[in-house]
Structure 1
Amino acid sequence: MNKNLTSSLLSALFVLIYLHAAAQPSSDQYPSRQLLLRDEGLSKLNYIDLTHPERNYFVTIPAGRDLQLVGKGRVMIGTGKGYEERDIKTGDKVAELTTFDGTIAARRLRNGHIMLVGLNWQGKKGIVLLELDQNNVVQRTINYPDFTYVRLIRETIDGNFLLTANDLVFEGKPDGTVVWQAQLTKQVKAQHAWQAQRLGNGYTLVSGGYSANFQRFDKKGVWVDSISGPPIVNPHFFAGFQILRNGNWVVANWQGHGPDHGAGGTQILEYNPAGKLVWSWKQDPKQQSSIQGVLVLDGLDLNRLHVEDAQGRLVPN
């Protein structure tokens, strides 16, 4: 073969290899990231410091859903009986509520109160919300009786609530009326949609559960697009997510119930709003099984309660 041709082919091959490598999202892009993870498969809270792994911990917690920075260096986790607060640095339990059996999720509101979520609960049909004050006394009960499923809740900036209800997502007012609703695109099995967040352009972003994608809906509840993949990360169930200050979305790619999923998929994924996977983190199969919730702590003030702003980004209250 002509030497010049061989040289040209080798150069082209090196360029293709370089471009392919550059296109792959890598945990090296953010080598100093600190993460809080809720591992549903092992029922553990994980603290992961990519720079100082000696600070990592993996502590057993009750089954439940969601996690939130609530100030004083604490993270709140929903449990089946209410909630727990854990010290972020150590994972130690520092507070708990255990008197509301049947709790599905818990979230601290902007006013400092706690909102508990249940289904066919407290003597009412459908989705039931209980708002508790600082003394865990019920201040109001909100009921959306026409729904048969619920996962997480997010408070909008105007005081309404976004809730996921299997293949539906809706916005409800405190008086129990529904002012907006959308249906996820059809899939073979029930989606079990996980979390919804209102964006600055009025769209609503939903992690679609077994749809294994993000879905966006416009102000009228019309589906806009879906974002997922690539296949190498094994999209299985898009669960808890966070919108970062740069506008990107970090989501937990849950892989299944139980202790044996640590080698399955890449379970922490970061997409930009255009739908490109820009970063990912591969779990340690010896330490994790199936991650359901994620918080990226970098740049956040852990002494402040964090809620979502008008752009959907997690910010101090």
Structure 2
Amino acid sequence: MRNNLIIHLFFVLLLVLCRAVHAQPSPDIYPSRQLLLRDEGLSKLNYIDLAHPERNYFVSVPAGRDLQLIGQGRVMIGTGKGYEERDIKTGAKVAELTTFDGTIAARRLRNGNTMLVGLNWQQKKGIVLIELDKNLTQKRIINYPDFTYVRLIRETVDGNFLITSNDQVFEGKPDGSILWQAQLAKQAKAQHAWQAQRLGNGHTLVSGGYSGNFQRFDQKGVLVDSVSGPPVVHPDFFAGFQILKNGNWVVANWQGHGPGHGASGTQVLEYTSAGKLVWSWKQDPNQQSSIQGVLVLDGLDINRLHVEDAQGRLVPN
């Protein structure tokens, strides 16, 4: 009887160990991966080269949201007054806009203009988008007055805008009308949903903020499914994400405001579209605190502006 119990316990332990190994995918499948990270906790831009760590840098930047490859070897980051353009290889600031106090996010459009995002801004109520041309001349203002929160925008291939607004996500037209809308699955606290991306099958993928997951919605705004976990990575706040050429999703798993979160969770996660975690990157607690944005540079031409295609994948414009 005792021997049977010992054998049983042995196999239970073996099963637990196998699940633990399966739940933590090997970081070695991409030994030469290069990453751009926005560490909100320390307000820094990070460049991480897994094959050549001597090239890594960690430079201080203003508080803000989002990051985008805009060509000429530059990355654009949104700031509270507009945006900065930084040299990808060195982190050095090469351009900036500082005259739009109250900016929440910035995004370079397909036409080369820049869209700034604000809330209750420029003498208008609700979500406000301001488009500036290359000479920083204002071209248009788009207003969605019935919303009280905003995070990021993404331009669709049709010229509309996918916008996250706390526990809602919507597609807005340039005339200010709403074409599509969905309600995120309810959570215990305000979700602060971060980013939305239209997929090739017409579904919309949303990083759900404090939901700690991805949520996928159909063309009618109905929740299809959600993706998160496993618990070992400590899903806390799913923030900026990128859809890779192979269709996988890489997301920043933010862990909290300010310093001191570097030992919490695994903050860069890669899932298949079926929801399987296939790769993760554990931040260095001595260098990072809480990662909010991520760009995988592998296979991308940093001398080209990158936007999302009809499949949601990041491609050169």
Q: What TM bracket, shorter-length normalisation?
A: over 0.9
Aligned to 2:47: 47
Q: Following the alignment from structure 2 to structure 1, what is the Cα–Cα distance between the partners of residues 147 and 187?
A: 19
Aligned to 2:166: 166
* Pairing 1:247–2:247 present: yes
- Counterpart amino acid of 1:248? N
- Counterpart amino acid of 2:282? K
DSSP-derived class of the 2:25 partner: coil
DSSP-derived class of the 1:54 partner: helix
Q: TM-score, normalising length from structure 2?
A: 0.95
- Cα distance change on mapping 1:91 and 1:220 into 2, 3 Å: same
- Correspondence 1:173-212 to 2 at 5 A: 173-212=173-212
Identity %: 82
Aligned to 1:279: 279
- Counterpart amino acid of 1:144? Y
Return the offset for 1:26: 1.9
Aligned to 2:316: 316
Q: Following the alignment from structure 2 to structure 1, what is the Cα–Cα distance between the partners of residues 284 and 201?
A: 37
Return the offset for 1:10: 9.6
- Counterpart amino acid of 1:38? R
Q: Following the alignment from structure 1 to structure 2, what is the Cα–Cα distance between the partners of residues 236 and 255?
A: 6
Q: Following the alignment from structure 1 to structure 2, what is the Cα–Cα distance between the partners of residues 13 and 263?
A: 26
DSSP-derived class of the 1:42 partner: coil
Aligned to 1:3: none
Return the offset for 1:17: 5.8
DSSP-derived class of the 2:125 partner: coil
Between the two proteins, the alignment pairs up a number of residues equal to 312
- Correspondence 1:69-88 to 2 at 5 A: 69-88=69-88
Aligned to 1:260: 260
- Cα distance change on mapping 1:232 and 1:98 into 2, 3 Å: same
Aligned 8 A contact 2:23 2:232 in 1: no
Aligned to 2:123: 123
Return the offset for 1:14: 8.1
- Counterpart amino acid of 2:56? N
Q: Following the alignment from structure 2 to structure 1, what is the Cα–Cα distance between the partners of residues 294 and 199?
A: 19
- Cα distance change on mapping 1:266 and 1:163 into 2, 3 Å: same
- Counterpart amino acid of 1:115? M
Query: Unaligned stretches of 5+ in structure 1?
Result: 1-8
DSSP-derived class of the 1:285 partner: coil
Superposed CA offset, 1:292-317 (max 9, x none):
00000000000000000000000000
Query: Unaligned stretches of 5+ in structure 2?
Result: 1-8
Superposed CA offset, 1:160-193 (max 9, x none):
0000000000000000000100000000000000
Aligned to 2:290: 290
Q: Following the alignment from structure 1 to structure 2, what is the Cα–Cα distance between the partners of residues 70 and 78?
A: 12
User: Which ranges of 4 or more aligned residues in structure 1 deviate by more than 4 Å?
Assistant: 9-20
Q: Following the alignment from structure 1 to structure 2, what is the Cα–Cα distance between the partners of residues 86 and 93?
A: 4
Return the offset for 1:12: 11
- Counterpart amino acid of 1:313? R
